[in-house]
């Protein structure tokens, strides 16, 4: 955790000035910490709904801000808060993806974060792949679609799907294996690779 001495003289300075000065006087970074920690924590909690995960995201965000201070340049329309907030959102997005892969599910997402995820997905061509996946799903039995959607799109683990359906983990694994084969067969022309998403 960052430890900085309090500096009352810096409290009236603009964020951008403090960031620049903190390169030579690291303890000044504590002023930015004081200004943004509560707001960052609130935003991280609205995304992750887990205090420990949110704390790690905020800590990682401040570390990235400090380490990458040289990449920020003061210019018209470029505010420190916007730059720092983007780092927070990117850090939260990365953590969110990791948690989803571990089988955690999220409800009532912060609307702004839903939009952020949408923008990220759009830039990576995700929407086009999702449309192709849905076309293939229409040609598959519903019980195959159910497990493929949960496992590969929603990132449920085998155990989580078994808990959801009340079936054994072995049964779920076998069904996913058969569903995967059926999906590949239906994707005759290599239309889409569901399993690389």
Residue 47 is predicted with a pLDDT of: 80
Going from the C-alpha of 71 to that of each of 26, 58, 65, 67, 161, the distances in angstroms are 16, 19, 9, 9, 44
Per-residue model confidence as pLDDT tens for the chain (197 residues): 444 444 556 777 889 889 988 888 888 899 999 999 999 999 898 888 889 999 999 999 999 898 888 888 765 556 888 889 888 988 888 888 777 766 665 555 556 665 655 555 544 455 566 667 778 888 888 888 888 877 777 677 888 888 877 889 899 999 999 998 888 888 765 556 665 54
The torsion region of residue 108 among left (phi > 0), alpha (psi -120 to 50) and beta comes to left
Both tokens of 91, joined, read 């850090």
Cβ(153)–Cβ(100) below 8 Å: no
Gap between the terminal Cα atoms of the chain: 35
Q: Do domains 8-120 and 125-196 have the same CATH topology?
A: no
What fold does the segment set 125-196 form as a domain? Arc Repressor Mutant, subunit A (1.10.10)
Domain boundaries, the chain: 8-120, 125-196
The model carries a pTM of 0.53
Domain 8-120 sits in CATH 1.10.1740.10: yes
């Amino acid at each position: 955790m960052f430890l900085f001495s309090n500096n009352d003289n810096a409290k009236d300075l603009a964020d951008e000035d403090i960031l620049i000065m903190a390169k030579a006087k690291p303890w000044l970074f504590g002023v930015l910490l004081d200004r943004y920690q509560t707001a960052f924590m609130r935003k991280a909690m609205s995304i992750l709904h887990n205090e420990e995960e949110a704390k790690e995201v905020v800590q990682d965000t401040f570390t990235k801000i400090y380490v990458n201070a040289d990449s920020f340049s003061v210019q018209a329309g470029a505010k420190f808060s916007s730059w720092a907030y983007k780092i927070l959102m990117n850090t939260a997005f990365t953590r969110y993806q990791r948690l989803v892969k571990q089988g955690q599910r999220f409800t009532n997402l912060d609307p702004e974060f839903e939009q952020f995820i949408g923008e990220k997905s759009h830039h990576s061509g995700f929407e086009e792949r999702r449309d192709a996946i849905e076309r293939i799903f229409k040609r598959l039995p519903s019980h195959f679609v159910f497990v493929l959607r949960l496992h590969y799109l929603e990132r449920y683990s085998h155990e989580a799907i078994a808990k959801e359906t009340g079936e054994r983990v072995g049964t779920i694994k076998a069904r996913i294996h058969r569903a995967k084969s059926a999906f590949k067969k239906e994707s005759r022309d290599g239309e889409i690779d569901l399993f690389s998403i």
